[in-house]
């Protein structure tokens, strides 16, 4: 597998090794030791899957007291996946990283604990799977406005379809997080 560091410490873009032949393909989507060796430690305690239609935006979501690390993969379709650094004291606090993830080639994004996550669907439909390091806890969940001007995420959709909960999400500053430093 090939692992590409991103501008946010700990966020990794993973390109699993794919073995193709006339019958199709095979790849490992998780191997505890190999992934630990490149900085993706696990253990994972829950697997999640969603299907969404073009223009859907899910996020930005995080947990405060029990943050989740997430290993995100696309099983079918294409998404634009985003991680936002919410770790207090991090040199990239308030910064985001986005990457296009597809089923072919299969790419994964590792988002360590302490970051918010969201994605929007670029294909007609997309099936997204992700492993998490901490169980989902609705009482601990933080939803951040996808269009928070302090984050200034360059989403590739103008008028996304969002859930009622995501539509009601507040900007980061309105939720007791430290101010986002100005971009240099």
- Summarize pLDDT for 63-91 with one digit per residue, the tens: 999 999 999 999 999 999 999 999 999 99
Which domain range does residue 13 map to?
2-175
Distance CA 184, CA 180 (A): 12
Q: In this structure, which long-range contacts are made by residues 133-136, counting pairs with CB atoms below 8 Å and at least 24 apart in sequence?
A: 133/42, 133/43, 133/44, 133/45, 133/68, 133/69, 133/70, 134/45, 134/63, 134/66, 134/67, 134/68, 134/69, 135/45, 135/46, 135/66, 136/46, 136/48, 136/63, 136/68
pLDDT at 125 over 70: yes
DSSP-derived pairing of the beta strands 78-85 and 141-143? unpaired
Determine contact, residues 70/130, Cβ cutoff 8 Å.
yes
pLDDT tens digits along 134-182:
999 999 999 999 999 999 999 999 899 999 999 999 999 999 999 998 8
Domain count, the chain: 1
**Position 184 in a domain:** no
Distance CA(75)–CA(150), nearest Å, equals 32
Catalytic positions, written as ranges: 61, 130
Whichever domain contains 54, its CATH number is: 2.60.120.10
| Residue 182 placed within a domain | no
d(CA 146, CA 165): 11
Considering the chain, what is the average pLDDT of its residues?
95
Q: What does the pLDDT read at residue 74?
A: 97
pLDDT, mean of residues 12-25: 92
Q: At residue 23, what are phi and psi to the nearest 5 degrees?
A: -85, -20
């Amino acid at each position: 597998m090939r692992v590409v560091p991103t501008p946010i410490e700990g966020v990794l873009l993973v390109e699993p090794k794919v073995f193709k032949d006339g019958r199709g393909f095979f790849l490992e989507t998780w191997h505890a030791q190999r992934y630990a060796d490149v900085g993706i430690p696990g253990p994972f305690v829950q697997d999640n899957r969603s299907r969404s239609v073009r223009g859907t935006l899910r996020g930005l979501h995080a947990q405060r007291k029990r943050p989740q690390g997430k290993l995100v993969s696309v099983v079918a379709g294409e998404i634009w996946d985003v991680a936002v650094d919410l770790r207090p004291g991090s040199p990239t606090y308030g910064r985001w990283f986005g990457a296009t993830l597809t089923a072919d080639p299969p790419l994964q994004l590792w988002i360590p604990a302490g970051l918010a996550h969201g994605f929007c669907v670029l294909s007609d439909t997309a099936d997204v799977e992700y492993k998490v390091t901490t169980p989902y806890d609705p009482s601990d969940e933080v939803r951040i406005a996808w269009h928070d001007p302090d984050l200034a995420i360059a989403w590739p959709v103008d008028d996304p379809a969002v859930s009622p909960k995501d539509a009601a999400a507040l900007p980061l500053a309105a939720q007791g997080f430290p101010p986002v430093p100005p971009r240099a």
